[in-house]
Structure 1
């Protein structure tokens, strides 16, 4: 029977979020049509809703939000061979449009020409039906639920972060920020062999969740200087951490990360804050502390699926709220107020 309904979550501009019915999209060459099962709400989705922009990307035309999704294949476009109707898949939302030098070197996330769900001008996944490049749809094993599949996008951020932060067996790690990305970095760092992980945040509730899912130590940030926080980190660990994974974007945490990290270690900047940040650069330079950045992820989806399938990483405790798609606006409001950890929208329960 033909499908005519495609309820979608649309951002029109600052503060303007609507539920609308759009045409059901048809798959083109090397594409698949998906009935969306579960989509997580990211802070970037909230930012587009509240501000109508994110960084240099502006909403000029109404845009469907959502890029943390899993769905079921309902139709194959021409050329698709590795998927079948009925397959459940996780969707890697960003992929290069040209086979440029970054793609050839394996770092396709740095390609200057990218398609990315829920990034203007491209629609996202918060719909009943969505179409995506089949090569960036990864089949989920029976042991991985669709909710876990929707976690693979932010889990990929954490995998890429821990790789870039040089997390290794037996290392001590500082994570700044106990939001969803900080907590996922905690899970991944522990699974990669980190001996001890300390995580800091302003929120007592989030620190309690961090302790629940495996943090060895937690530190509530109060009226500290960056140097004070660094000293607290060293005190609980017994030495400076080998790596700091900074997930807030706050200047205070960037500075604290530099002061806290051991000589020869790594500070990885995951959180996106202001364009210009004051950094104790001389302190980092004379101690050979590497300050590294990252952008999204690459070559992580098979690893993330294997982690979930093997139960080496359990993301389920991070799900705090579930809503049917029809209650998306309520779900966005809860996310904006930071009342939970990860809010999931069940798009097949519209």
Structure 2
């Protein structure tokens, strides 16, 4: 193996180059992963467009990509598993393990978290990455490299559905029919939801939602909350004000609204929240759900490969980032660094 690798680097908004950098070496407790697939997230696109997401701001060149799969290619001292040659889904976060949040098991809320492709931490648009061995989760042969990369966004959906306590018969509304919304839809179905509606103003997204298990779709540009029977759970996956308004308006009394989508500041109708005794919950990434997400995908209950609509190499990373903008059929683009 060469000691050099190719890496796609966002130099500044709308300016990406492919560079040669040293291959990272795993330290104690770490593994080196030869990257096979990186599925593109909306956050990658946001950094490409704007160089920031909220308080996370680029101040130096950044390697994008955090939805990652690959093969363990080297291990550091003290690592017994996974062994070299193991196919893995990479959980792209490194926590301190010592703070109050880590001690309480909420390692995703660690104030010292280092998360792939979140400034100043580089991501996985690269041929090799190094991660803690505990964050390299073995995947079965039943999962393709693409599907293994998409365990990361599936973990978000599993975490969100767990926050909502979705079970048999639950009436669910998913606001936002993008990739995370489609994953939340499928996880809700896998947990036994009785009826799932997907709301999205984009016709193409409404068109594909039934293929992934939606009982009904709603166009929020022409329909209102009154067009949806009151729901027990809303998984809000867009982060925009109109969707948040619909999320609250469509609830039954004592419903749970889980805020999954990342966005700017929004307002809430406090009178509705109080009079219906709604439960509002936020979601920030995930913790302890990768094994469950892998098992769910391997069972066939969630169709990950069917969401992949294009493949790109490192030289085509920009095309991958802009795939949804240029192709109305696009759902999920995948970069294959190798």
Query: Aligning the two structures, in what range does the TM-score lie when normalised by the shorter sequence?
Result: over 0.9
The aligned residue for residue 129 of structure 1 is: 128
Q: Distance in 1 between matches of 2:324 and 2:45?
A: 7
Moved over 4 A (4+): none
1:259 is aligned to 249
SS of the residue corresponding to residue 264 of structure 1 reads strand
Q: Say whether 1:231 aligns with 2:226.
A: yes
Post-superposition offset of 1:206: 0.9
Q: Which residue of 1 aligns with 2:259?
A: 269
2 CA distance for matches of 1:17 and 1:50?
11
Change (3 A) 1:120 1:338: farther
Structure-1 residue corresponding to 2:313: 324
Q: Which residue of 2 aligns with 1:310?
A: 299
Cα shift at 1:221:
2.1
Q: Counterpart of 1:170 in 2: which secondary structure? A: coil
Paired residue total: 337
Matched, 1:301 2:290: yes
Alignment correspondent of 1:292: 281
Deviations 1:46-104 (A, max 9, x none): 11111111111111121111000001111111111111111111000113123222222
2:270 is aligned to 281
- Structure 2, unmatched stretches of 5+, are none
Pairwise CA RMSD? 1.3
Deviations 1:90-136 (Å, cap 9, x if unpaired)? 00011312322222222211111101111111110110111111111
Moved more, 290-299 or 321-330: 321-330
C-alpha distance in structure 1 between counterparts of 2:327 and 2:178, whole Å = 9
Structure 1, 114-123 or 98-107: larger mean CA deviation: 98-107
CA contact 2:51–2:57 (8 Å) conserved in 1 = yes
CA deviation after TM superposition for structure 1 residue 337, in Å: 4.5
Q: What is the CA–CA distance in structure 2 between the aligned matches of 1:88 and 1:54, rounded to whole Å?
A: 31
Trace 1:112-151 onto structure 2 (pairs within 5 A): 112-151=111-150
- Tell whether the 8 Å contact from 1:41 to 1:335 is kept in structure 2 after alignment: no
Where do residues 56-71 of structure 1 align in structure 2 (5 Å cutoff)? 56-71=55-70
TM-score (norm 2): 0.96
CA distance in 2, matches of 1:202, 1:161: 22
Q: How far 1:333 sits from its partner (Å)?
A: 2.0
User: What SS does the aligned partner of 1:205 have?
Assistant: helix
- Aligned residue for 1:307, secondary structure, equals helix
2:240 maps to: 250
Instruction: Check whether the contact 2:65–2:116 (CA below 8 A) recurs between aligned residues.
Output: yes
Note the C-alpha offset of 1:180.
0.2
Unaligned runs of 5+ in 1: 235-239
1:31 alignment partner in structure 2: 30
Aligned partner of residue 9 in structure 2, secondary structure: strand
Q: For 1:3 and 1:309, locate their aligned partners in 2 and report how far apart those are by CA, in whole Å.
A: 34
Tell whether the 8 Å contact from 1:213 to 1:317 is kept in structure 2 after alignment. no
Maintained 8 Å contact 1:6/1:127: yes
Q: Secondary structure at the match of 1:262?
A: strand
**Against the structure 1 CA distance between its residues 92 and 195, is the aligned structure 2 distance closer, same or farther, given a 3 Å change threshold?**
same
Equivalent residues of 2:39, 2:68 under 8 A apart: yes
